[in-house]
C-alpha cells in the first residue's frame, strides 16, 4: 500500500497510556508513516469530547484530501464523533475497543465498581488494572498504576462518580474497521458484536484471540496486519472504481 506521510492519523486522547500504543505504531510505521494527534485536557478544564472533536477539525480542516483515522477506546470515540460530523474529511475509521454504546470505556467500569463495592479508589484501580492487562504480576501493576490515575484526571472521558454517559449511536458513512478482543471485559465481545447491525458492505469486525483491553499492545503484528489489509482493500476498491469510471 502506497501512502504519503500524512495519510494516516493515530488519535491519542490518553497521553499517559501511550505506552500501550507504541508496539502497534512501530509495526504500522514499517509499512505506512503514522502521524499522532494528541489531546490532553488540564485538571481545571471541564470534560468535553466536543471540544476535542473541534480541535481535531481545526487540525485537519485545511487538508486537501481525506485521512485515515484510527484510535483506541476514548480516542477512537473522538474519531467516531468526528467521522459522523465531518465524513468528507475521513478516508476510513479504525476503532479499537470501541463498542456499542460507544461511550463505554475503562473509566465507566471504574466508577461503577466504585459505586457498587465497598472498596476505596486504590483497591478498585488495582483490580481493574489487573483485569485490563491480564497481569498477576503485582510489580508490573504497581508500575503502571500511576498512568491510569493520570488518565482519570486528564483524559476527556465523559464519565464520573455521579454519572456514566451513553451516546445515541448511529451508522457512520465512512469505511469502518472495528477491532476487539475475545478477553476484553471493558469493551466485551457482546458490546462489540452490536456493531454488526450497523456495518456497511466492506466494513469489518475483527476479534483478537486474547490481549484483554490492550490487545493491540500484546498482539501488535496481528492487529497491525488487520489494519493494513483493511487499508489495502480500500485502496484496491478505489483502483477498481477509477478503472470503471
- Give the pLDDT score at 158: 66
- Give the pLDDT score at 169: 79
C-alpha cell at 6: 500524512
- Give the pLDDT score at 5: 46
For the cut 90, the answer to whether the pLDDT of residue 227 exceeds it is: yes
How many angstroms separate the CA atoms of 180 and 207, rounded?
Answer: 5
pLDDT tens for each residue of 20-65: 999 999 999 999 999 999 998 765 555 678 999 999 999 999 999 9
For the cut 60, the answer to whether the pLDDT of residue 156 exceeds it is: yes
For the cut 70, the answer to whether the pLDDT of residue 211 exceeds it is: yes
pLDDT tens for each residue of 82-105: 999 999 999 999 999 999 999 899
Q: CB neighbours of 245 closer than 8 A, spacing ≥ 6?
A: none
Q: What is the DSSP string of 5-42?
A: TTSEEEEES-GGGGGGTHHHHHHHHTTS--EEEE----
Domain extents in the chain? 8-104+168-244, 106-154
Class of domain 8-104+168-244: alpha beta
Amino acid at each position: 500500500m502506497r501512502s504519503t506521510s500524512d495519510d494516516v492519523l493515530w488519535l491519542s486522547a490518553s497521553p499517559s497510556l501511550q505506552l500501550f500504543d507504541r508496539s502497534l505504531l512501530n509495526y504500522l510505521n514499517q509499512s505506512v508513516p503514522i502521524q499522532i494527534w494528541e489531546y490532553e485536557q488540564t485538571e481545571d478544564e471541564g470534560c468535553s469530547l466536543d471540544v476535542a472533536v473541534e480541535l481535531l477539525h481545526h487540525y485537519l480542516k485545511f487538508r486537501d484530501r481525506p485521512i485515515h483515522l484510527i484510535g483506541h477506546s476514548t480516542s477512537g470515540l473522538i474519531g467516531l464523533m468526528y467521522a459522523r460530523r465531518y465524513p468528507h474529511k475521513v478516508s476510513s475509521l479504525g476503532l479499537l475497543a470501541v463498542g456499542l454504546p460507544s461511550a463505554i470505556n475503562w473509566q465507566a467500569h471504574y466508577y461503577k465498581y466504585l459505586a457498587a463495592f465497598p472498596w476505596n479508589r486504590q483497591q478498585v484501580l488495582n483490580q481493574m488494572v489487573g483485569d485490563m492487562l491480564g497481569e498477576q504480576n503485582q510489580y508490573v501493576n504497581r508500575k503502571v498504576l500511576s498512568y491510569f490515575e493520570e488518565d482519570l484526571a486528564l483524559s476527556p472521558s465523559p464519565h464520573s462518580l455521579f454519572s456514566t454517559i451513553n451516546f445515541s449511536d448511529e451508522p457512520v458513512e465512512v469505511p469502518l474497521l472495528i477491532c476487539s478482543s475475545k478477553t476484553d471485559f471493558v469493551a466485551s465481545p457482546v458490546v462489540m458484536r452490536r456493531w454488526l447491525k450497523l456495518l456497511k458492505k466492506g466494513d469489518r469486525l475483527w476479534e483478537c484471540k486474547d490481549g484483554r483491553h490492550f490487545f493491540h499492545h500484546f498482539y501488535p503484528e496481528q492487529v497491525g496486519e488487520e489494519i493494513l489489509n483493511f487499508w489495502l482493500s480500500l485502496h484496491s476498491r478505489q483502483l477498481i472504481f477509477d478503472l470503471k469510471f
